Structure 1
Amino acid sequence: MKTDCQTYIKEMLEIGNKLIKESPILGEETGSVNAKGDKTIEMDVKIEQAIIDYVRRNELPFNIFSEEIGFINIHPKPQYVLVFDPLDGSTNYRVGKGLFPYGLMIALYKGLRPKLCDIVSSGFAEHTTNKWWTYDGSKTRDSHGKVVILSHNWKVHRSTPVHFDLYYKKAYDTFSSLAEKIHIRWGGSNTSSLLYVLSETSAAMGALLMRPEEIGTVVSLIKGAGGITVDHKGKDLGNYIFSPDETYQLLAGDKKIVEFAVSQLKNR
């Protein structure tokens, strides 16, 4: 199964990418709310259903957790948990006119009560740039199969870019102690933050309340590229248990910048 995991993840990324490219903007709200209580839009649901259909069609031994539908059992003897966000950055998708990043995040965990370190494969596709990355259990690779190694040349400086999720007011308060010490930015989605870190245009990314459908993809891809992923106290996120009911603190990317951010947040 391990050999096939990468194939499955890549094919799911291709499914999402094809739907985005071949469909008109499907940004209307469906009238329902997702598992987190947010209003869903048509493209979210369309991509989600296509991936679920793919898993069923191939009779893969997966339980599934998705942002829209929540947790579902679709196999009599599941061995893995497939977690995905079909359209992270849905507001960017609706109003961004192709300028604001949005994408598909997928992570496959081994076992039915896994830790974040138990990811055997993951993938991430950002649709406005047509860039995507996969994680094979040890290394992160780009769409050309090249191993990604994050730069370690970043310095703690007020011009060094870091991307934080500032959707919540509490996040502004949390990260304010870093202002003017490093350059805080926010692109409207965690997809944008991950895109910039993996593209080496941002030293690190962070969140106060990262959702379960996103955390595994971010942790695995950044670790696989030689970065570190910790909570706001500096604890390795790999030791955290994955739970559909939890949100996660995150600081991830260049070791020097992440450790500096941890030191500042501890002193708040």
Structure 2
Amino acid sequence: MTSLDELLSIARDAAEIGARMMTSEAPGTVSAKGDRDYVTELDVRIQRAIQDYLHHAAPGIDFLGEEDGGGTLDDTTDYVWVLDPIDGTSNFAHGIPLCATSLALVHRGQPLIGVITAPFLDLRYHVVHGGGAYCNDKPIQCSSTTDLRRAIVSIGDYATGEGAAEKNERRFAVTRALAENVERVRMFGAASLDLAWVAEGRTDACVILSNKPWDMAAGVVTALEAGALLVDLNGSHYDLRSVETIAVAKHLGSLPLPGVTRQGD
């Protein structure tokens, strides 16, 4: 088995394939995957290019990509690459620079390596489990904010598709609770950046009421390595089987979310 350091180097090179393609190629045809859920031709091309590179650079490791039609992450699998070729596709298709290639190496449900490359922002995050988190090769850590009213909190996208109205009632309740208690609420439209920016201390927490592995795996290990607390919305310990994804700067400790009385341990 190739060492984690070598696999990190491979992952960083793979993410740069996405960065180069995002900044040099047009989105191409935009197709609907569902209600207000879209994929561009470039999403698919990037995924194929990265998958091909990984297959040759690190043979024998499984692969799960968003543009394969989704899928589940089997936490009994020894090693699997998990990729979102363009996290924030709607942003990208509209010329909004909040988008990134997000790639993780997951071992039996535990992210070991995370790489998030946001080329239009010139931000490149990388992490190896147990080795700290980095942005543009400099160490990062979550914020030291302790006052909820000084906290910037980002939230994930509102739901679309089947059951969206019911799902969004919960999202509206969370948004209202945050809006009444924190300094500002933000919606960036790219889960990997939500988590990376908690890790970097740009924001103090993020609340994402979903948990798809290609959206979360790289960002979760980045936030954890930077000292953030990760929980499900009910306050239980987070893992890739959780229903929701909440990252909070460790000094802040808790958020006023409906149904949550304590976060942390």
Instruction: Specify if TM > 0.5.
Output: yes
Deviations 1:88-123, CA, capped at 9 Å, x for gaps: 111111113xx440011111112xxx23xx222111
1:108 maps to 105
2:163 maps to none
Deviations 1:140-160, CA, capped at 9 Å, x for gaps: 11222x221222134110x52
- In structure 2, how many angstroms separate the alpha carbons of the residues matched to 1:5 and 1:59? 8
Asked if residue 254 in structure 1 is aligned to residue 249 in structure 2, the reply is yes
1:133 maps to 125
1:20 maps to 22
Residue type at the aligned position of 1:197: V
- In structure 2, how many angstroms separate the alpha carbons of the residues matched to 1:258 and 1:176? 19
Deviations 1:144-184, CA, capped at 9 Å, x for gaps: 2x221222134110x52100013222422333222220122
Alpha-carbon offset, residue 233 of structure 1: 1.8
Provide the secondary structure at the position in 2 that maps to 1:260.
coil
- In structure 2, how many angstroms separate the alpha carbons of the residues matched to 1:40 and 1:258? 36
Residue type at the aligned position of 1:17: A
1:60-209 → structure 2 map (5 Å cutoff): 60-70=59-69, 79-96=78-95, 99-110=96-107, 114-115=108-109, 118-138=110-130, 139-144=132-137, 146-157=138-149, 159-168=150-159, 169-170=168-169, 171-182=171-182, 183-209=184-210
State how many pairs are aligned.
243
- Confirm or deny: 8 A CA contact 1:133 1:140 kept in the other structure: yes
- Confirm or deny: 8 A CA contact 1:167 1:188 kept in the other structure: no
2:229 maps to 228
- Confirm or deny: 8 A CA contact 1:215 1:248 kept in the other structure: no
- Confirm or deny: 8 A CA contact 2:115 2:126 kept in the other structure: yes
- Confirm or deny: 8 A CA contact 1:61 1:79 kept in the other structure: no
- In structure 1, how many angstroms separate the alpha carbons of the residues matched to 2:235 and 2:102? 24
Alpha-carbon offset, residue 57 of structure 1: 2.1
- In structure 1, how many angstroms separate the alpha carbons of the residues matched to 2:151 and 2:58? 46
- Confirm or deny: 8 A CA contact 1:5 1:120 kept in the other structure: no
2:165 maps to none
- Confirm or deny: 8 A CA contact 1:135 1:141 kept in the other structure: yes
Unaligned runs of 5+ in 2: 72-76, 160-167
- In structure 2, how many angstroms separate the alpha carbons of the residues matched to 1:254 and 1:174? 18
Provide the secondary structure at the position in 2 that maps to 1:150.
coil
Deviations 1:182-223, CA, capped at 9 Å, x for gaps: 122112222442353244221111111132211211210000
Unaligned runs of 5+ in 1: 73-77, 242-246
1:75 maps to none
Alpha-carbon offset, residue 3 of structure 1: 3.0
> What RMSD in Å do the two structures reach over aligned CA positions?
2.5
Residue type at the aligned position of 1:148: I
Identity over aligned pairs, percent: 20
Residue type at the aligned position of 2:230: T
Asked if residue 47 in structure 1 is aligned to residue 46 in structure 2, the reply is yes
Provide the secondary structure at the position in 2 that maps to 1:91.
helix
1:235-246 → structure 2 map (5 Å cutoff): 235-238=236-239, 240-241=240-241
- In structure 2, how many angstroms separate the alpha carbons of the residues matched to 1:82 and 1:11? 14
Q: For residues 57 and 32 of structure 1, do their structure 2 counterparts lie closer, same or farther at Cα, with a shift above 3 Å needed?
A: farther
Residue type at the aligned position of 2:173: D
